[in-house]
Structures are given as C-alpha cells and as structure tokens.
A = this chain, B = another copy of it.
C-alpha cells in the first residue's frame, strides 16, 4: 500500500533526497543522461538495488527514463534539483559525489563513442 495521504510536495521532495544512493545518482546525472549500467558501475551497487532507487526518483518526478535499444537512459527532469543539492551542501559543507573511472558495457563507455562525440 503506497502513501495514500496527499503529502506536502516539499516534504515529498526531501523524502526522495533523503538517501545517499539517490543523491549520488542525481549527482551522476549532472553531466547528462546515463544508462543504468553506468550508474551501477559508478556506484558499485547491485543492479536491482540501483533500479529500486531509480524507481523512487522516478516516482518523485525527479528523473525520467528513455529506452534506447537494450539500454535505458535516465536524466534529470528539472535541473533545478541541483540547486537544492548545492544549497544543502553549502549548508552542511560536504562535497558532491564525483564520478570515478569505472566503465560499463554501454555505448557511452565504448571508445568508439568518445570518437563520435569528439568528431561531431
């Protein structure tokens, strides 16, 4: 049974942001859309777990997904969410999750893709 009572939208937003993995996912999407496997590789968590957190973000309206072949790409629906994250970090004085060099099998992680971007 989901949350049935109409909730204060501000509270709902904070509820969605109240989880380190979800915040890390949003940070990963600062650079643009990413496929699930990429998020998985970056965060070093199991696929099902990442998918669960993506579902929460999706239901909160913070991210949207788009299928492209076998991969699903997620993006932030409103970049203003980063203003919230930045304001929060300015208050508590912590840093955003920074991407590692981890790669996955998605097209974006293949060398050919980098070539494509460079030459476009």
Contacts and interface: CB of A to CB of B under 8 A. Distances in A.
A42 to B, nearest CB: 16
Contacts of A91: 13, 78, 80-81, 83-84
A19 to B, nearest CB: 6
A56 interface: no
Contact of A88 (B18, B20, B84, B93): B84
Given A14-B23, A83-B90, 20 more contacts: A8-B23, A9-B92, A10-B85, A10-B89, A10-B92, A11-B18, A11-B20, A11-B23, A13-B91, A13-B92, A14-B14, A18-B18, A80-B87, A80-B91, A81-B91, A83-B91, A84-B84, A84-B87, A84-B91, A86-B87
Interface of A: 7-15, 17-20, 23, 78, 80-81, 83-94
